[in-house]
Amino acid sequence: MAGELTVSIDAMGGDAGPSVVVSALARTIQRHPDVKFILHGDETVLNQLIAKRKGKFAGRVSVRHAATRVAMDEKPSFALRRRRDSSLWHAIESVKSGEAQAVVSAGNTGALMAMGMYQLGLIDGISRPAIASVWPTQRGQVVVLDCGANVECDSEQLVDFAIMGEALSRALFGLPKPRVGLVNVGQEEVKGHEAVRNAAHTLRQSDLPMEFCGFIEGNNILEGAVDVAVMDGFTGNVVLKMLEGAAKLIAFFLKGALKRSLMSRLGALLAAGALLALRRKLDPRAYGGGLMVGLNSVVVKAHGGTDSVGFAYAVDTAIDLALGGVNDAIVSDRAGVRPEAVAS
């Protein structure tokens, strides 16, 4: 992306709100000295928090007042109709006007998607947006989508998800031809419902910048068999929540085992470096939250309960995607798939 990059931020979203956002920016500004930020929210509160940083944000951060915020439990339809004076609405509006090139929020996921679709629209050729997430694997990282935006998907939408996923993988990880797999109940070509089989046929016939690996099963995802795992939103959301629970279960069992006896406590001290590395690897804050891919700009959703470290990672991800030209890549790749090749 040529020119100056500006990130628009909903400073009132999430459980902790402005204090987390401002603290996160103190980290992000050091890592990205050429990026500017617009904070949307209560200007009195935000200006007070910024003033405590003693000029570190001067010339880099501006504040725009927003009278209200979208509550985490508000219905997206209500927020879309009644919250157009909110920090979330104004944060997206700054991107729509071209003042900013990416938006980040830790707020209401449904409202972010609804307002994003209303104000920004969809990328040309994409039928539905998706929520993508990045997970650790045995071989690195994997982009997974959809994680909940579309409960039921036809073959065209699954093809779209594959295209968006490989573009994300190239932008985030620099992979020239990401390995892409469709999650199915088996690896045989006859397995699965019609939409999955038709999507696989289209991807095999395409000339997209990906290595299509066919069908994969759930255990293959964390093995690192692919760089992009594609599935419908119902499956993706269930798998995502189960993995979050599994990570907590592993931490629970490990903590109990290390405290069980004096010898295990001594062993924990000797293995402190390795245990710290494992903790960092399993830390959900390091994986950028949810990526609202398919919208006509870069939109990143940080975890609602995240701290400043997690929010800073989400902003870093938004910057990487904007600089990587991910939406331009999606437009180009989607245009390369013949409409008649997609059977839904």
Running along the chain, 344 residues long, what does each successive block of 10 average in pLDDT? 82 88 91 94 94 85 94 91 92 96 94 94 91 90 91 93 94 91 89 91 90 94 94 91 82 81 75 68 66 94 87 92 89 73 49
**Is-contact 103 318, C-beta < 8 A?**
yes
Could you tell me the CA-to-CA distances from 270 to 124, 166, 264 in Å, in that order?
55, 41, 10
pLDDT of amino acid 201: 93
Q: Residue written as tokens 């209303």? A: 118
Class assignment of domain 132-287+338-344? alpha beta
Interval 220-238: pLDDT, tens: 999 999 999 999 999 998 9
Average pLDDT, the chain: 88
pLDDT of amino acid 171: 87
pLDDT of amino acid 344: 45
Q: Looking at the chain, how many residues does it have?
A: 344
Phi, psi of 136 (to 5 degrees): -75, 150
Give residue limits of the domains in the chain. 132-287+338-344
**Is-contact 52 78, C-beta < 8 A?**
no
pLDDT of amino acid 167: 92
Give the residues across from 181 on adjacent strands.
229
Q: Residue written as tokens 């920090």? A: 87
**DSSP code of 286?**
G
pLDDT of amino acid 95: 96
- What is the residue type of 172? L
Mention every residue, 6+ apart, whose C-beta is less than 8 A from residue 12: 18, 40, 41, 42, 66, 69, 86, 87, 88, 107
Burial of 323 (0-12, 13-18, 19+ CB in 10 A): middle
Three state DSSP letters for 9-25:
EECCCCCCCHHHHHHHH
Phi, psi of 331 (to 5 degrees): -60, -45
Burial of 338 (0-12, 13-18, 19+ CB in 10 A): exposed
pLDDT of amino acid 248: 80
Could you tell me the CA-to-CA distances from 146 to 16, 77, 112, 324, 341 in Å, in that order?
27, 21, 16, 21, 22
Side-chain half-sphere CA neighbours of 84 within 13 A: 6
Distance CA 118, CA 84 (A): 12
pTM: 0.86
Pick from 8, 330, 7: which is nearest to 171 by CA?
A: 330
